Amino acid sequence: MNEALFTANNLWLLVATVFVFLMHLGFATLEAGLIRKKNTVNILFKNVMIVSIGLLTYYIVGFNLMYPGMNEGGFFGFAGFGLAAPDAPAIEYADGAYTYWTDFIFQAMFAATCCTIVSGAVAERIKLGAFLIFATLFVSISYPITGMWKWGAGWLDALGFYDFAGSTLVHAVGGWGALAAIILLGARSGKYTEKGIRPIPGHSMPLAAVGVFLLWFGWFGFNGGSVLSANPMSVSLVFVTTSLAAAAGAMGAFIASYFLFKTHDLSMVLNGILGGLVGITAGADLMSPGEAIIIGGIAGVIIPFSVVFFDKLELDDPVGATSVHLVCGIWGTLAVGIFGSMAGMEQFVNQLIGTAAIGTFTFAFAFGVMFLLKKTIGIRISKEEELKGLDIAEHDMAAYQDIENVQSYELSVK
């Protein structure tokens, strides 16, 4: 391959990697903003650790589980621990080429995102140790195995299932993990009472808004990088469909939440943007701009209804992660069978099979691990710890210091 073209293609994947990396900050600030002050250090801690655990375990086992380079059409493969030597040749794929290292680091940045999705849903009541063990197993075993089924040339790929950048493989996987976890964990104290559902508003809407903008920013790398080359027509189309779906998601959530709640609910519009982004992810390369707007708009409309639905079931999800990533992830995956250049009944059935198979495996894995943790070390903090907040209970630290402590100390000793 032409050296300059190789360089440009590889460069785009690296830049996309950096953009995807920033999604971890996006998740951290979004989740921190949507929870209470007293659990903020804890959620930041978890998000920082997840990126680190995700990268390290993807180096140790994840990458070789997800891309075993054997058993094409199979259910499981493993190419061994660690990474091969740095003189590995360039990987050619579709109309691009990139290096082995580029392949690893781009994929590694994806891996940690599904745990971050779980992190938001279980916020404010999970034990730190239990969560870190769960996250380690989820990201290093469950995510790469189902990832292999499609992106590692496994059986779903052979079947014809399509998921461009991970509406199912990343987002619904994180969403299923979140669902399993919140079922076993139970709701936050005081959320569902005899007098009805008590809203627990997030402590900082600026942090939440920062998070959504950064996630949108990162999604240009997430979807744009999934072209796996810098092919001008493909990447630029993906940019257009991704952006318009996000914008339509905002609009859909704006209208639907006004209809439902008779107010202009910022958190719904923020989640509507994320819903639109998750929804377009499976078919961002297949849709026309108009179809992207329809898919994103429907995802946005789904958001407030889904949030109400989970609340009715008393499944407490402080940040709406199940609505955004699970429900809109499924919607986006199925939409590939309804809209765009692959639409058709056969494709729709394939999308259903992939959704169901990956959902079943992931939910079972996550439920099993969480169940074992619940029966052994325990997954839920005590009532007293919940009242005090995880920041003090687990970290001996407050997220914000309002008192100028040395000043007051000095004045007091005068």
By CB under 8 A, tell whether 230 contacts a copy of itself: yes
Cβ 136 vs Cβ 365: under 8 Å? no
By CB under 8 A, tell whether 5 contacts a copy of itself: yes
Binding positions for a copy of itself, 13-32, rule CB under 8 A: 14-15, 17-19, 21-22, 24-25, 28-29, 32
Q: How many CB atoms lie within 10 A of CB 369?
A: 23
By CB under 8 A, tell whether 182 contacts a copy of itself: no
Query: What token pair was written down for 155?
Result: 């059986």
Cβ 49 vs Cβ 407: under 8 Å? no
CA 347/CA 339 separation, integer angstroms: 11
Beta bridge partners of 192: 197
Binding positions for a copy of itself, 120-149, rule CB under 8 A: 128
By CB under 8 A, tell whether 217 contacts a copy of itself: yes
Among 293, 299, 334, 381, binds a copy of itself (CB under 8 A): 293
Binding positions for a copy of itself, 47-66, rule CB under 8 A: 47-49, 51-56, 59
Among 130, 250, 307, 381, binds a copy of itself (CB under 8 A): 250
Binding mask 375-394 for a copy of itself (x = CB under 8 A): ------------x-x----x
94: left (phi over 0), alpha (psi -120 to 50) or beta: left
Q: How many CB atoms lie within 10 A of CB 86?
A: 8
By CB under 8 A, tell whether 8 contacts a copy of itself: yes
Cβ 280 vs Cβ 292: under 8 Å? yes
**Nearer of residues 237 and 330 to a copy of itself, judged by Cβ:** 237
CA 246/CA 32 separation, integer angstroms: 22
The CB-of-340 to a copy of itself minimum distance in angstroms stands at 11
By CB under 8 A, tell whether 107 contacts a copy of itself: no
Task: Name which of 322, 212, 201 is nearest 270 in CA terms.
Answer: 212
**Nearer of residues 112 and 180 to a copy of itself, judged by Cβ:** 112
Binding positions for a copy of itself, 336-355, rule CB under 8 A: none
By CB under 8 A, tell whether 78 contacts a copy of itself: no
Q: How many CB atoms lie within 10 A of CB 263?
A: 9
What's at 193, amino acid-wise? T
**Nearer of residues 86 and 196 to a copy of itself, judged by Cβ:** 86
